[in-house]
A and B are shown apart, each in its own frame.
Chain A
Amino acid sequence: MAAAMIQQANIPKIITQPLKRVHIADIETELGMLWGQFDRESGGGHTVMRACMSNLIIYCDTAEEAAVVSQEIPTIVDVHPARVLLLIGDGHPSDGSLEALISIYYAPLEDGWQVCAERIDVVASPAATERLPSVARSQLMGDLPTTLWWASRRPPPEAGEVFFQLAELANQIIYDNMGWINPIKGVSAMTRWVAAQQNEQVVYNLAWRRFAVWRKLLGQMLDPQITPNALESLRVIEISHGPHALPMTWLLVGWLASQLNWQPVDGKRLSNSELIWKFHNNQHEIKITAKRLPQGEPLLYRLLLDWSHATSENRLCFERLDNDRIGIVEALSTIPAHVFAAQIPERATLVSAQLAHRNRDKIFENALKSANAMAAVFQP
């Protein structure tokens, strides 16, 4: 029985086999053999089905990054069945400069099995990193969209040729600027690269999805019917964020600026943990400060919006209460206290959700442009 050889992945619904080392030229044949072997060892007679929605190329710099990604694959393919190519650019192949390993993921059905992913790992030594795109090119399945998930902590353009070549294979590029070492430089490099793309490729930052709940709450609570004139009268915004969340904060401010037609006029670092931007909306100045908390998760923790004027005081303050909830702080708000569900999605959940979205997000791209304009006026 296959049960003897299978091991339970993180999510019990999805079962996988240990990775098998194969020659790169034999990957397709060996995958076919895995299917057949699995069918025989699971008792035979059942139709083993494959559902596949995408090619997913994942690029990691190191084996450590790949180990984390490896744990996330079952969650992703559970929702979005795919052929997964996990490329490790700065790895240590056990033999030679490139090494390939394969496995399959499957889910039990009532009357059979369904293969929901084939996984191909390719480990390259540092000297062979630039050969990875050629391996990826030969392993993609036809008729399916391809996504490149850039899981490295380096901003993609900094990786140079390996990123540019992998990007050419993809219809969609997913990256995550959380944890970038120099976020200001990274935002700028990425935005320039996106702006230079002429095709219909979808480029997507997970940070955008990560703060979707904030966008939704702001949109609803500042709606003209709920809080008349708030949007056009905003003057002060104070943001508190956890470590490594500055790029996300930057993008949030970029989104507000692009949607509300604010032009950045100035930006500077007040201290190691505090930045300030100034915008203008053709009527008045808007001041935004972003303060990094000494500890915590890479999240937005607090958002104070002030649209007071001479005759009335109008403030709204959101605060993350815990990992699942955001509340309106009553004492600081003109709106009654509420608590909203705001679970922090796992990275794998964000990726799997994004895989199904294949249209360019103009709102995100505009936010990115604004974020770049903010970088341009910033005095480091």
Chain B
Amino acid sequence: MLNTRTDNPLTAGINITHTPQPCTLVIFGGGGDLTRRKLLPAVYNQALEGELPANFAVLGFAIEKMDDSKYREFARKGIEQFSRNPLDKAFWADFEKRFHYLQGSFDDPEAYVELKRRLEEIDSNFGIPGNRVFYLAIPPALIETCVCQLKAAGLVRPVGDHGAFSRIIVEKPIGRDLESARKVNATLCNNFDEQQIYRIDHYLGKETVQNILAMRFANAIFEPLWNSKYIDHIQITVAEEEGVGTRAGYYDTAGALRDMIQNHILQLLSLIAMEPPWIMDADVIRDHRQNVLNCLRPVTSENFDRHVVRAQYGPGFHHGEDVPGYRREAGVSQDSVTETYVALKLFIDNWRWSGVPFYIRTGKRMPKRASEIAIQFKSVPPILFNANHDHPLEPNVLALSIQPNEGLSLRIATKLPGAKLRIFPVKMDFRYGSTFGEQSPEAYERLLLDVMAGDATLFMRRDAVESSWAWVDNILNIWASSRTRWIPEYSAGTWGPLEADRLIESDNRKWRLL
């Protein structure tokens, strides 16, 4: 692998932490929705801002009938519609030449022979030393086929031969339960080394999520409080305002637990709860995240009802408009018991978090789109300012907002001006957008650069995927063993079912109003 940090004196000091290396990005499913909405705009934005390596090209590979010219048009339209930077026509006129397309069937060995030939041609035209990043923007069922064909075609270079690199990016979901996840991972690992595999979870590329580590370990004031002695509980909310939309085919077989909890939320949880890593190294950080997953208390049939609530949205209002219930959505079975909402109470059984509940909720058709991690600290003793039992002081809350506005806020108690001693909570708000002005790069932009730079910190390792499935499988199995076709319902446009309120209120706590 080319190590520009040490082999080339002219790259010394240039963005030391991140040096994306010359490569071709090969997108399997290059004509798909993810490619159009996220990947190509991400590539464009990074190029426009000078972050991409000078020797870089894109090759879309898919079944759709297109040539290079049509693909460039496809890319341009996607960029015009979805890029955070408007299309710069003069720049695009040159940059589009780096976009190529190969039509082919993923299971056709001949297509891979042609893929190899095209890649060699691109290497030669763009001065790329054979480095490839394969992005599988395809349905999970096709992963095995593509990976095996890549290996068979000689397109996977081994790690550590000091030659060009081959890396592969795999989108979630990795499996739909532990068994299938193991199968996908086995397929990946039989053909690529774990170091070459980047299991992407775009949540981990968001600025605030990365800021969790900075906030915890770059400030002296938080970490001493970051434990069961000072923290009362933690709430993680990932609320979507949309319904199932066009994803019914996938979603009705998955549900909120698989779609959100198993990957995004458990990854957030592991970042919030991990012990301090001793170095900013991808594997060290991932080891520490993994330790959190290892300590998750399993949900059992005995404690199930007090720890898990699922529900499905019924008809209601979204921004004042009538919207149908889940079972009336196009593509959804009328007797579906797929959950669109999950609330959980979970515990991490280690020294730091012993007895601290983590309340988690995620759902579709919530009143608004909001993702947040809130750390609620314990109340001050009921003396002095907190002596009035009828009006206890509101505890301090540190809230990390992930979307739509990335930032953090701290609720503190202050004295209101005047002769009387009146205490009032004030929210100190910090938002990336308004403080730093710059638009934060999209998560995909950051993550693509990470892959090109060989930094796997923000990607899921095999053990993390399998541990989270193992934990989630407990819940899935209990649901599967239940014969009921009944599932609690909440009105679209509300914050979830009464059962979820009861889950937290039985502990004398409340869901935060977002």
Contacts and interface: CB of A to CB of B under 8 A. Distances in A.
Interface of A: 13, 47, 49, 51, 78-81, 107, 109-110, 114, 116, 212-213, 215-227, 231, 256, 259-260, 322, 324-325, 327, 335-336, 338-343, 361-364
Contacts of B430: 51
Contact of A220 (B13, B55, B91, B437): B55
A131 B113 CA distance: 75
Interface string B427-449: 11111001111100000000000
A325 B8 contact: no
Contact of B434 (A109, A212, A339, A364): A109
Contact of B127 (A116, A215, A336): A336
Mostly helix, strand, loop or mixed at chain B's interface? mixed
Contacts of A336: 124-127
Contacts of B125: 336
Interface string B204-237: 0000000000000000000000000000000000
Interface of B: 2, 4, 7-14, 22, 47-50, 53-55, 88, 90-91, 94-95, 124-127, 129, 405, 426-431, 434-438
A115 to B, nearest CB: 11
A226 B22 CA distance: 9
Contact of B436 (A79, A213, A217, A335): A79
A260 B11 CA distance: 11
A222 B7 CA distance: 11
Contacts of A231: 8-10
Nearest to B431: A109
A47 B426 contact: yes
Contacts of B10: 215, 218-219, 222-223, 231, 256, 259-260
A49 B127 contact: no
Contacts, number: 113
A256 B12 CA distance: 11
A363 B55 contact: no
A259 B5 CA distance: 13
17 contacts: A13-B437, A49-B429, A79-B438, A81-B435, A218-B10, A219-B14, A220-B22, A220-B55, A226-B127, A259-B10, A322-B90, A324-B88, A325-B94, A327-B94, A341-B50, A363-B12, A364-B13
Contacts of B431: 109
Counting chain A CB atoms within 10 Å of each CB, which of B14, B55, B437 scores highest? B437
B466 to A, nearest CB: 36
Contacts of A116: 434-435
Given A114-B434, A324-B88, A338-B126, A223 B50 contact: no
Nearest to A327: B94
B434 A259 contact: no
Given A51-B430, A324-B91, A339-B95, A217 B126 contact: no
A368 B137 CA distance: 47
Given A223-B10, A341-B48, A363-B12, 10 more contacts: A47-B426, A47-B427, A215-B14, A222-B10, A223-B4, A224-B8, A225-B2, A226-B22, A226-B129, A231-B10
Contacts of A220: 4, 11, 22, 53-55
A342 B9 contact: no
B126 A361 contact: no
B88 A342 contact: no
Contact of A325 (B22, B90, B127, B434): B90
Contact of A109 (B22, B426, B429, B436): B429
B429 A225 contact: no
Given A114-B435, A342-B50, A219 B91 contact: no
Nearest to B20: A220
Contacts of B426: 47
Nearest to A221: B54
Contact of A221 (B50, B91, B127, B435): B127
Counting chain B CB atoms within 10 Å of each CB, which of A78, A218, A219, A256 scores highest? A219
A127 B125 CA distance: 64
Nearest to A77: B437
Nearest to B436: A79
A114 to B, nearest CB: 5
